[in-house]
Amino acid sequence: MASDPVDRRELARLPIGMFDSGMGGLTVLHECLVTMPSEDFVYLGDTARFPYGEKSQQELEQFSVQIAAFLERVGVKLLVVACYSATSAALPALQERFSTPIVGVVMPGARAAVQSSRYRRIGILATEATVVSGAYPRAIHSLDSGAEVVQQACPGLVSFIQEGDVASRELADAVRGFTVPLRERRPDVVIMGCTHYPLIAPMLQRHLGRDVTLVNPAAEIALEVEGILARQSIARNEAREGSYRFYSTGDAEAFRTVGARFLQMPLDEVAPVTLDELAALV
């Protein structure tokens, strides 16, 4: 027990790990950088296997385990699964397999939606994999068993945003097509159930209507991570500016260029990681 404070100080110096299928998770990283400016972060974007929303649960679990093993080898004190599809498919398996604390992105958004909804009618805009998993209805009903939950899958929407398209006519037409059936059910709160969607929040708000509250779980996730670090006494509380670094399984230069728009902060260098490297870890 006497060595525990020293161990916690050493643990506190480690970065927070984060991964996503691509660049959408950078919206979560942005909120974390703002909320916890003293912390270091390491982020892996699995762009070679993007998008995750069209993959099977078995594939998503395999990919997630590989990436978690990589980040644990790098050395992290907490891992954020900054991808709704991966969280929905693989979070329990990750938490069972790894000793590092692991945070998903579903429950923080569900909690914020339940707390924000006046009429207990909650909509979800998400990828096909997230909708099929049923993760959001389960999370919401664990908090409010009487809430009405309406899900809308948005196949292909994430690809527009990943490629840097946040304002084209084609994107607007796709958004209109996905929001019309959701709007007919009259939710008063809608969760942006994909980390890419906050980049088109103004467009979503326009098509959903101004009376609908849009929930961006990224800010809630950052607060949850901050709380876990504080409770476990592994936060970096000294006055310093934390660092952040990146890995990508795909085109590192494309990640650096497009990723800066998602992060809204400088993104100078991206280290490549091959899929063979990841596969060899598990």
**Catalytic residue numbers?**
83, 194
Report yes or no: 101 and 78 within 8 Å, Cβ to Cβ: yes
Q: Which residues contact 7 (CB under 8 A, 6 or more apart)?
A: none
Residue 277 CA, chain-centre distance (Å), reads 23
19: three-class secondary structure by DSSP: strand
Q: Which residues contact 115 (CB under 8 A, 6 or more apart)?
A: none
Residue the block writes with tokens 């901050």 = 226
At 41, list the tokens.
């972060």
- Neighbouring CB atoms inside 10 A of 11's CB total 16
- Neighbouring CB atoms inside 10 A of 44's CB total 26
Give the separation between CA 55 and CA 61, rounded to whole angstroms: 10
**Nearest alpha-carbon partner for 19 in 89, 55, 66, 73:** 66
